[in-house]
Amino acid sequence: MNDFLTFLVLTLFVVMSPGVDTALITKRTITDGRKIGYRMALGITSGSLVHTFAAAFGLSAILLQSAFAFEIVKYVGAIYLIYLGISSFIKRKNQNAHQEADAPLKRKSAFKQGLLSNVLNPKVAMFFITFLPQFVQSGTDVTIQLITMGVIYTFLSITWFFLFVFFINYLREWLMSEKVHNIMDKTTGLVLIGFGLKLALEKQHS
């Protein structure tokens, strides 16, 4: 692609910009540690692959053309984000006593949370279906090009998120102090609720 460098630069800006993904990864890394943060990142980037293939094979276009389908996915995604935000305000009982027993569940739920938050966000589908085609070159297989760009986006995302988790983990001991942890947890919760409400109230652009 002649515009490949432009695509890389713009994609890096998109990947590194703070949003729902960053909020979720920050929360889980601070609360549960680096490995759980990595699993959350893997879940989110797996969702990007889902959107990549959906965009490549035209499924995302359905969300843009069908107001009903868009509204259904939008509200499901918004409700899930609000749920994650509200859960930040609910303290778990006996957290320390059950920490080891709940470890396998945490690992699974971190990946699942990341995957669902990404897949159920129609804004991500809209990004893939509107951003990637701008760099498609005529004369070659469009589907292959879209998949290739989606995979590159996913690779850049997982690289950035892993670096982000790595550095956040170094600050975890300080961030895990009761006062700081409560502030961060509630702030992240408000951010997630805010994104959920914004998603629910945002109208589809035709």
Q: Sorting pLDDT into bands at 50, 70 and 90, what band is 91? A: low
Residue 46 lies in a domain: yes
The percentage of the chain sitting over the pLDDT mark of 70, rounded to a whole number, equals 77
What is the domain range of residue 108? 4-201
Residue 126 lies in a domain: yes
Per-residue model confidence (pLDDT) at position 66 = 74
Angle at 58 between CA 42 and CA 62, to 5 degrees: 100
Q: Sorting pLDDT into bands at 50, 70 and 90, what band is 206? A: very low
Number of structural domains in the chain: 1
Residue 61 lies in a domain: yes
- Quick one: 146 exposed, middle or buried, by C-beta within 10 A (0-12, 13-18, 19+)? buried
Residue 178 lies in a domain: yes
Q: Which of 56, 37, 52 is nearest to 152 (CA)?
A: 52
Residues 6+ apart with CB under 8 A from 171: none
Residue 26 lies in a domain: yes
Query: Which is more confident, 106 or 161?
Result: 161
In the predicted structure, residue 51 carries a pLDDT above the cut 70 = yes
Looking at 27-41, 145-159, 168-182, which range is the least confident one? 168-182
- Helix or strand run (H / E) with residue 59: helix 59-65
Most confident of 54-68, 145-159, 180-194: 145-159
According to DSSP, residue 25 is labeled H
Q: How far apart are CA 187 and CA 106, in angstroms?
A: 21
The percentage of the chain sitting over the pLDDT mark of 90, rounded to a whole number, equals 20
Q: Sorting pLDDT into bands at 50, 70 and 90, what band is 47? A: very high
Residue 206 lies in a domain: no
Per-residue model confidence (pLDDT) at position 137 = 77
Query: Which is more confident, 157 or 198?
Result: 157
Exposure letters 75-112 (e unless 16+ CB within 10 A, then b): eebbebbbebbeebeeeeeeeeeeeeeeeeebbebbbe
